[in-house]
């Protein structure tokens, strides 16, 4: 047995081996998964816009007008008029002077954090939430700056960390809505700390844009924070906006700086025109119909209520992301497979994506789900859990899994 085969066998024994599942057709609220029709309850297509007719038509029209790809990086010949148009629309939507498109959320986060750390010099300290997304964690690593990990959403601990490095340039970086736990960062308090200590602030709105706040403008707007108080607002086009790509919304000076220094932008082909056009159409829909975010949150409330009636512990989640904490990785996978047999696809999430002992089913609600579908899904999940030998009431609340450790920074 080769070393690779041995490693795969070890992952299998630990319940951590992954495989790709095949979805046939568009990413709607219902899909055909590996040949089986299921309710899709783990997609980040939160508003259901990936399959919206206007979004599809915009992508198709752009492919005919601009071609299938941009053909070059942004600083060569890859920046096209449609890229600039989307950047202007995103800046207006986020309330900033400018926006810069990146190829993906991963590229945006790694590019922004590493570029800002370079700007501040070798003494820079990056302050990162313990449960930040892996792309932020990797951005901290690429920054080659000292990284201080503060306890999840704990502004008292963040203040203590800042006090230990008073006088050194710094960057606070945090998710707004945390992708695995569904909770929201205390953004107003974090902004106040950034101002008090004179450090920069980067907020990743990947799971907030389109999903919360007035007119779906995100968690920053929902917290009543002035966008100008955040140095860079990172967002994605691949979740609520149903397309692919990402952006950094910021001041004009910051946009110019990122364009000149973010290696992930400089050395990557520009986002393809059909994806950009799709995102533009989706953004128009969100602006025209603010009820998208309202429907999404109403659906999230419906599912949380239904899960609670089935005995699941859902305290701590407050957004469209609802984790059902199981603990054991193999058990989480067993429940996932049984739920699929019952017609519900809720993916099991295991280490290193989440801390050891907190494997879970990560439920992601969509605005296009019906309340009846969500109530039935809760019943299916409860039956699957019982069949797997897990009593829903024995699960941990989200808050109980958010200790002071920093597993995501330590993982990999």
DSSP 151: P
Using the predicted structure, report yes or no on whether residue 396 has a pLDDT greater than 70. no
User: Chain centroid to CA 65: how far?
Assistant: 31
The pLDDT assigned to 304 comes to: 96
Model pLDDT for residues 162-179, shown as the tens digit of each residue: 999 999 999 999 999 999
The pLDDT assigned to 328 comes to: 92
User: What is the C-alpha to C-alpha distance for residues 37 and 41, in angstroms, rounded to an integer?
Assistant: 12
Using the predicted structure, report yes or no on whether residue 1 has a pLDDT greater than 80. no
The residue annotated as part of the active site, out of 52, 83, 133, 207, is: 207
Using the predicted structure, report yes or no on whether residue 336 has a pLDDT greater than 50. yes
Q: List all residues 6 or more positions away from 297 whose beta carbon is below 8 Å from its beta carbon.
A: 211, 212, 319, 320
Percent of the chain with pLDDT over 90: 82
Domains of the chain, with CATH numbers? 21-51+290-410 (3.90.1150.10), 53-288 (3.40.640.10)
Q: Is 239 a catalytic residue?
A: yes
Maximum Cα–Cα distance for the chain, whole Å? 59
Q: In this predicted structure, which of 198-202, 282-286, 397-401 has the lowest mean pLDDT?
A: 397-401
Using the predicted structure, report yes or no on whether residue 102 has a pLDDT greater than 60. yes
Place of tokens 């993906």: 104
The pLDDT assigned to 411 comes to: 42
User: What is the C-alpha to C-alpha distance for residues 127 and 163, in angstroms, rounded to an integer?
Assistant: 12
The pLDDT assigned to 127 comes to: 98
- Residues 376-399, mean pLDDT to the nearest whole number: 86
- Please tell me the pTM assigned to this model: 0.93
User: What is the C-alpha to C-alpha distance for residues 139 and 146, in angstroms, rounded to an integer?
Assistant: 12
Percent of the chain with pLDDT over 70: 96
The pLDDT assigned to 412 comes to: 32
- Residues 41-63, mean pLDDT to the nearest whole number: 97
Q: Please measure the distance between the N-terminal and C-terminal CA atoms of the chain and give it in whole angstroms.
A: 24
Using the predicted structure, report yes or no on whether residue 334 has a pLDDT greater than 80. yes
Q: Is 207 a catalytic residue?
A: yes
The pLDDT assigned to 317 comes to: 80
Is residue 409 within 8 A of residue 149, CB to CB? The reply is yes
User: What is the C-alpha to C-alpha distance for residues 271 and 90, in angstroms, rounded to an integer?
Assistant: 15
Buried (b) or exposed (e) across 177-196, using 16+ Cβ within 10 A? bbbbbbbbbbbeebbebbee
The residue annotated as part of the active site, out of 239, 359, 368, 409, is: 239
The pLDDT assigned to 22 comes to: 85
Mean pLDDT score across all residues of the chain:
93
Using the predicted structure, report yes or no on whether residue 343 has a pLDDT greater than 60. yes
Q: In this predicted structure, which of 153-167, 196-210, 253-267, 303-317 has the lowest mean pLDDT?
A: 303-317
The pLDDT assigned to 395 comes to: 65
The pLDDT assigned to 120 comes to: 81
- Residues 359-373, mean pLDDT to the nearest whole number: 96
The pLDDT assigned to 388 comes to: 94
The pLDDT assigned to 73 comes to: 96
The residue annotated as part of the active site, out of 29, 135, 179, 368, is: 179
- Name the band, by pLDDT with cuts 50, 70 and 90, for residue 27: confident
User: What is the C-alpha to C-alpha distance for residues 237 and 187, in angstroms, rounded to an integer?
Assistant: 22
Q: Is 94 a catalytic residue?
A: no
């Amino acid at each position: 047995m080769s070393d690779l085969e041995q490693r795969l066998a070890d992952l299998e024994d630990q319940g951590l081996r992954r495989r790709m599942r095949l979805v046939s057709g568009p990413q709607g609220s219902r899909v055909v998964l590996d040949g089986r029709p299921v309710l899709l309850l783990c997609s980040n297509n939160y508003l259901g816009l990936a399959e919206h007719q206007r979004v599809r038509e915009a992508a198709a029209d752009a492919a005919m007008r601009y071609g299938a790809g941009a053909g070059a990086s942004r600083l060569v010949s890859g920046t096209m008029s449609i890229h600039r148009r989307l950047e202007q629309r995103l800046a207006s939507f986020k309330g900033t002077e400018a926006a810069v498109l990146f190829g993906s959320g991963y590229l945006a986060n790694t590019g922004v954090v590493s570029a800002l750390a370079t700007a501040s010099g070798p003494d820079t300290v990056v302050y990162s939430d313990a449960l930040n997304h892996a792309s932020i964690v990797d951005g901290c690593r690429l920054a080659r700056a000292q990284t201080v990990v503060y306890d999840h959403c704990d502004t008292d601990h963040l203040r203590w960390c800042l006090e230990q490095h008073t006088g050194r340039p710094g960057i606070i970086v945090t998710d707004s809505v945390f992708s695995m736990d569904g909770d929201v960062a205390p953004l107003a308090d974090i902004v106040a700390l950034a101002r008090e200590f004179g450090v920069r602030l980067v907020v990743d709105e990947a799971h907030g844009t389109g999903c919360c706040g007035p007119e779906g403008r995100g968690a920053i707007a929902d917290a009543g924070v002035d966008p100008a108080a955040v140095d860079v607002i990172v967002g994605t086009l691949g979740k609520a906006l149903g397309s692919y790509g990402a952006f950094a919304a910021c001041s004009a000076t910051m946009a110019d700086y990122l364009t000149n220094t973010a290696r992930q932008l400089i050395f990557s082909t520009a986002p393809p025109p059909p994806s950009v056009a799709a995102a533009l159409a989706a953004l128009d829909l969100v602006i025209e119909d603010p009820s998208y975010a309202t429907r999404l949150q109403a659906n999230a409330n419906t599912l949380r209520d239904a899960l609670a009636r089935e005995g699941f512990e859902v305290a701590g989640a407050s957004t469209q992301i609802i984790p059902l904490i199981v603990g054991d990785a193999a058990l989480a996978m067993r429940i996932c497979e049984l739920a699929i047999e019952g017609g519900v696809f809720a993916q099991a999430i295991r280490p290193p994506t989440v801390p050891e002992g907190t494997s879970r089913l990560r439920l992601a609600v969509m605005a296009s789900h019906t309340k009846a579908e969500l109530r039935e899904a809760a019943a299916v999940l409860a039956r699957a859990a019982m069949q797997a030998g897990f009593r829903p009431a024995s699960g941990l609340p989200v808050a109980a899994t958010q200790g002071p450790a920093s597993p995501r920074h330590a993982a990999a």
